[in-house]
Every structure is written in C-alpha cells, then in structure tokens.
Structure 1
C-alpha cells in the first residue's frame, strides 16, 4: 500500500503572498496553498486555501504530537523577529521554505492519514476549528469540511509575480505598523466594478474586461 501511495502524484505550491489587515494598525501576511493530486488519500483532488506563518507553526506542532514522535518532521523556515513586509527577499525565502516543508510532509505516507493535515490544506477552518473537527467535536465531519472548501481558478507562475514591497509585518499574531498600505496587487481586484463605466461611454466599441476570481 505504501508503494502505491508513493507512486501517486501530490503537487503543492505556496505562493501569492497578500497583506491581511485586522484593523488600521495591525496587519499580517498570508499565502495561498494550491494542491493538485491523484492520491487516494485525498477526497478532493484540487484545492486552494490561504494560511499564515503562525498556522504553519501550529500544524507542525500538531502533526508532531499526533505522530507520537514516530517520525522526524521537516523544519519550517525560522522565526525572524525582524521579518518585514518591506523586504521582498525575506518574503520569498519564507514562501519557498513553507513550500519545501509541505512537500516533505506530503512525501511521508505515515502523515497522510492525519486529519489536521487534510483540514489545513483543504478547508477554510481556523486552527481551533480544525482541532475540534479532527477530534469529532463538530456537527460536520472532516470530509464535509473539505468538500465545503470552494475552488478558484489557478493562474500560471508568471501571472503570480508580485510587487512584494510592503510596509510592515512580524512573526507575531498581529503586527503593528504606522502606515500599513498593502502593495501586493491581488489578481482578483476589480472583479465586477469595471463593467459599469462601459454603459456610460456611448461608444460603439466594446471593451472586454477579463476578471480573475479571488480566494476567500
């Protein structure tokens, strides 16, 4: 069985960093996790969710506890008290480190039965709700939580190149900054607002606006 699992494809990407603001003074950055697989271990073969660094830290601790120290887990990119959204190199290095962590986790057949891992990768649940669901303390099952996770249109790596100039961030749950203006340009902006102006132009020439769908 382990040999069959190893022959199946599980592809994961961590990309598209974005600023999320709790309020005017507090902001953090999260990342899109895209998963494509034909593995029988996953009920959903394609998915996309967003997670922040602190949630990755929680996941590693939870998997380590659930595995009863039977396997040595890969390391996450180190916590950096000087991590800043002004530093594109830091963001890129962290993003690559998070992807490498997930790639190594998903190569271990012993870990693919962990419900917390599946909910982390393929549900919109917070970490507290992931823990409750995995323990059977919710009215919905793990499979139901995964199925509720909506799909989004995937874009090429070229489309996901971003201006990573940011104002602030830290490794704490909420960072303080003086002027947290996000400079990462989302692919999902101007989803519907741009079409209204076309009717006011009175021109016979039609302009086609293409919109990409955004994640939750």
Structure 2
C-alpha cells in the first residue's frame, strides 16, 4: 500500500452505530488518520446507523439477513466489502456471528469491540453479567475476530469501575464512553502495522 493511499474501512452495524459515529468523528477531526470509511453495511434495512452514515455522505448498503441462509447472506456481505476494496472490517454493533467463510475472507482484518474485559463475560448482556457476578471492575475490549465468539487476540482494553449504585443502564453508559475512545485508538494501532501477535498476545514492535 502506498503512503498516499488511505486504508479503506468497511463498517458493519445492526443498530444505532454509536461506535461507528465515534470512529467517523475521530477521522473527521483528525485524531484518527490514514484511513477513510469506504462503506457502511447493515443487515437491518432501517438501522439508524445507516441514516447517520448517509447524513455524513458515506456510501451505505443494506443486505437484510432475516430469512436468508447464513452462507448466502455472508457471501453478499463479502462481495460488497470486496467491491469497495476494504482493507479493514470494523464491527460496530453488528448483531450476527460471522461465518467461518467470512472470517477467512478477511484474515486478521476484522475488529470487534465488546463491553467487558474479555475473557470475562462474553456474549450478550455483558454488563448485566458483570453486575450479577458482583464484579468490581468492568470495561471494554477491542479484539481481532476469529471463528469463536468474543475470542480473538486482544488489542486493547479500558477499565471501568463498578459502583455500588450501578445498574445495567448506568454501567453500560460509562463503558460506552470508553468504547468511543478505545475503538479509534485500536484502529490506529492496527493500521500502523507496528505490532505482532504471539501466542494470543498482541505486542508492539
């Protein structure tokens, strides 16, 4: 890749896309450089995140997943990402588990953010899991995506204390604030190329 060419990001979302908006804002204000959002894709036709992308003048496409076989749907998403010459796939509230074929199409080029300190509390309702367990700290994790759920190599994490008065709503809101900072930082780290992974460990190089 030439120095002049910006890395092309493909964002996948299913809902409001608050992490997508944080990334787009970071690019717009120059705190995340060397990349551009080439396309925003969703499996939900009326996802609010698509409208937010359109307001920013970004390319958007929707491929409805309901009632479509997983392999067929993922093949459409892969084709769309390839058509836009995507360098890095960013999952921003994309509420589907990617098929092995999807992950193999973009090896070590798919990032996700999860609202817990993995490997603790993977899957859905991570904030509620943390509260129910009595955890004293929570947080978020940005990681590479592999074929297991919330399992890939960890790039960075942000810690959020769990307060005695917290409920799921208050804890989720404070974690989300950290997500919005962590995701652009993690993307910058990956795009720099100044890292290696060894035995599940992300190391700066």
TM bucket by the smaller chain? Answer: under 0.3
Q: TM-score, normalised by structure 2?
A: 0.28
The structure with the largest strand share of the pair is 2
Which protein has the larger Cα radius of gyration, Structure 1 or Structure 2? 1
Q: Higher relative CO (CA 8 A, sep ≥ 6), structure 1 or 2?
A: 1
Q: TM-score, normalised by structure 1?
A: 0.27
